[in-house]
Amino acid sequence: MAQVALTIDGLGVDFGGFKAVNNVSLTIEEGELRVLLGANGAGKTTLMDLVSGKTKSTEGRVFLHDTDITNWEEHKIARAGIGRKFQIPSVFRDLTVRRNLEVASCRNPGVLANLRFGFDEAEQDVDRVLKMIGLGVKADRLAAYLSHGQMQWLELGLLIMQNPKVILLDEPTAGMTQAETHKTSEIVNSLKGKHTLIVVEHDMAFVREIAERITVLHLGSVLAEGNVEQIETDPKVRAAYLGSKGIG
């Protein structure tokens, strides 16, 4: 039986009487990829904010495995094993791609943790991630000169180097070409099983390529849950978002 990586139990936040997230409960298994769908204002990004500690909840709990991390500070939640990629990359533009990844591998504040692996092993980790994100040939290029898509892949690489238990991705294909979007789906699919992922996304072509289980949010609450086919044919979802055309 699969272990549960993340439990969201009755989570909510009230902004002066407006419930941006309202009594949301989700159970996400270790190694699972969960897609969050919903129109603008449905509460998807706010839910990610609550899980990552950027926003403090006014009701409910969040558990990482068996640890209650509800309303912890952001840096403590990150250290516990939740990594988040925002829409705007936060890479070091004046460093090379390789150096960015090396720096990310040393972000654990403990000196002993940084001494735990030998130099060769750290370099192997960097090489493995460079290959995974498809930037091996760009390893010695300054990050400032990467394309938009490559910059997004590098930031994903920075997250992978930190080896979080749970990865939160907020619209990872925003602004990408079709080819870049497809490459991103390959990277994300390669992370399945090794990491637990929650992906907020609007691009349904991308969702079809990665989705195992989808949770649809509507006005801050869970509207439906299931695989792509179940969500496409769910009358509640069609009434709320899709009209007669289905998803995408």
Orientation of helix 148-161 relative to helix 97-105, angle to 10°: 30
Rounded to whole angstroms, the Cα distance separating 161 from 106 reads: 9
Confidence bin at 247 (pLDDT 50/70/90): low
Average pLDDT over all residues of the chain: 89
- Provide the whole-model pTM: 0.88
Give the pLDDT mean for 138-149: 95
Instruction: Write out pLDDT tens, residues 51-109.
Output: 999 999 999 999 999 999 999 999 999 999 999 987 666 799 999 999 999 988 875 54
Domains annotated on the chain, with CATH:
1-81+166-248 (3.40.50.300), 92-163 (no CATH)
- Between 90 and 191, residue with greater pLDDT: 191
Rounded to whole angstroms, the Cα distance separating 2 from 36 reads: 21
Give the pLDDT score at 240: 84
Q: 128 pLDDT exceeds 50?
A: yes
- Name the nearest CA neighbour of 71 among 86, 57, 59, 84: 57
